[in-house]
Amino acid sequence: MKKRFGLLALTGIIALASCAPALQTAQRESASLKIDGASVVFINPGPDTAAAPALLLSGDFVTTDQNCRKRASGYTGCTLPDTPAGKLYRVIIDQGQVKAGSVTFYRTSGGVRPIYLRLP
């Protein structure tokens, strides 16, 4: 029974992960998260402020960004400042490489509906 539950749980996780690109499209979100050289960039073209952006990164890297903290899980979490329309926030990677990442934030006009973006 435990083995079957584990297999079902793993299948569910894989299914949810595969939905992430579709989720981003369905959100009709113009903001983006990308790797640009030795940094991870959260871009907010608008239409309004991206509130409470929370960035989660994985990989073997070092950053000295004051908003980022290494977690016991091995991930690095960054609590970014609100990012107004037309602005971006850049997390400089001092050494190493980011393997994966995501950001969750709210739009001022969207209420409490969170927006989720992944690194491509």
Q: How do residues 62-118 score in pLDDT, each as one tens digit?
A: 999 999 999 989 999 999 999 999 999 999 999 999 999 999 999 978 878 899 999
How far apart (Å, rounded) are the C-alpha atoms in residues 26 and 34?
19
Per-residue pLDDT band for 6 (boundaries 50, 70, 90) equals very low
Query: What is the rounded CA–CA span in Å between residue 104 and residue 110?
Result: 13
- Answer yes or no: are the C-beta atoms of 92 and 33 closer than 8 Å: no
